[in-house]
Structure 1
């Protein structure tokens, strides 16, 4: 079976690029901050995705500005030291104080 590449019109291609940029802008930062195990996807992954968009060519001025902004965010993320889990505030610091003084009697 021969496969023929699908060609998209300029407006369809621009819409796909817009969606890809919007997706990266929405999920990149949460992915970098990750969870206790570290980043879900590393900065290198996001940088590669953004460079692929640039290499595809024919991005509009607004698209180029957004990709550039995202690359700058990656640079800033990589330049700042990431806090180790041990350096974060202990969980007890986030707890609310009791609604009554410890010495006051209260109904159980």
Structure 2
């Protein structure tokens, strides 16, 4: 009986690791690119998650290769230059300034 429970829990753990790896593969790139405010989750977060999986010691060869591949992708994403629209984006949104007195307001037609 103990042998069957160990096998099932090992199988369940492998399934959870597979699901976690699939999630990281889908979310990591999008999260690192983020939006105009910067990354949603930094590279340190993703690196920690991948190293936590490595530390479990229960990875199959295929899972180990996937973690290695994701770590390489993470290194590449960190070293890649930011896209043009992110390089010049302000770190925080600039507040709107009120129109200056004495200057005519520009309409959409005059532009």
2:71 aligned partner: 71
Residues 28-49 of structure 1, C-alpha deviation per residue, up to 9 Å, x if partnerless? 0000010010100000000000
Paired residue for 2:47? 47
1:12 partnered with 2:26? no
Q: Deviations over 1:57-99 (max 9, x none)?
A: 1201110111101000111111122234428xxxxxxxxxxxx
Give ranges in structure 2 of 5+ residues lacking alignment. 1-5, 90-111
TM-score, scaled relative to structure 1: 0.69
Map 1:30-45; keep pairs closer than 5 Å: 30-45=30-45
Structure 1 consecutive aligned stretches of length 4 or more whose deviation exceeds 4 Å = none
C-alpha root-mean-square deviation of aligned residues, in Å?
Answer: 1.7
Q: TM-score, normalised by structure 2?
A: 0.67
Give unmatched runs, 5+ long, in structure 1: 1-6, 88-108
Structure showing greater relative contact order (alpha-carbon pairs closer than 8 Å, 6 or more residues apart): 2
